Amino acid sequence: MIIDCIADLHGHYPELEGGDLLIVAGDLTARDTLDEQGRFMGWLYNQDYRKKVFIAGNHDNILRNTNPFGLNDKLPIGDAWTDINYLCDSGVEFEGLKIWGTPWTAYFKEMNPECMAFTLNYGCDTDDWLAEKWALIPDDIDILITHGPPYGILDLTDEGRCVGSKSLQMELFRRLRPKLLVCGHIHEAYGIEPPGGIVERAVNCSHVNEDYKPVNKPIRVIL
């Protein structure tokens, strides 16, 4: 199966190659407006994949606060949307693969205080409160989509600090064994995790770099 992964679009909507499954891991717009959310949905609709799934990120306040399109894991809205699912602590199955999406991120001090959607522990050094969100993830998922990375996996900032979620890292140690972990959020950590870690495959697929320039290509995975 051809899976393309992209995150942190921040209003940049490239034309993609097409394939079987498209995963978009949050931070969908540049200014978090209703018009831009509609533009994102139009872009997503036009991408040539048999299934498309997306989650929100910490910049997606409009989805956190109002959910303007009534999005849920039961998209479609009519026959035209049968290939799209919005996941928010929810899952979908595609071609035998169980996919789970969750938008939550762990706070770190460099985050913009105006961009805290799905980040509830503002100013707090621990993310233990997130454990209740990770506990919702089924044991047998094949693909896990999170906006923020786990601690120690594709979460290294330019300052040389790992800022991912320690409570998510613990869930991966204890019980979760996804075939693929897809995340974003830390733009400068774009790339593929080397083999041999606690996750079989992991990608940080941020489309923009730390200067919000759309320089990173989607990451293609074959499962």
For every residue of 98-125, DSSP letters joined together read EEEEE------TTS-TT--TT---TT-S
d(CA 134, CA 17): 32
- Tell whether the model's pLDDT for residue 172 goes beyond 80: yes
Structural domain containing residue 65: 2-222
Which of the residue ranges 114-123, 125-134, 147-156 would you say has the lowest mean pLDDT? 114-123
Q: Write the pLDDT tens digit of every residue in 188-204.
A: 999 999 888 899 999 99
Q: Write the pLDDT tens digit of every residue in 135-171.
A: 999 999 999 999 999 999 999 999 999 999 999 999 9
Alpha-carbon distance values, 39 to 12, 17, 44, 178, 207 (Å): 10, 19, 9, 31, 17
Spatial CB neighbours of 128, under 8 Å, sequence gap ≥ 6: 167
Residue 78 or residue 94, greater confidence: 94
11-20: string of b/e by CB count within 10 Å (b at 16+)?
A: bbbeebeebb
Alpha-carbon distance values, 150 to 29, 46, 86, 89 (Å): 23, 31, 21, 16
CATH number where 64 lies: 3.60.21.10
Domain count, the chain: 1
Amino acid letter, residue 182: V
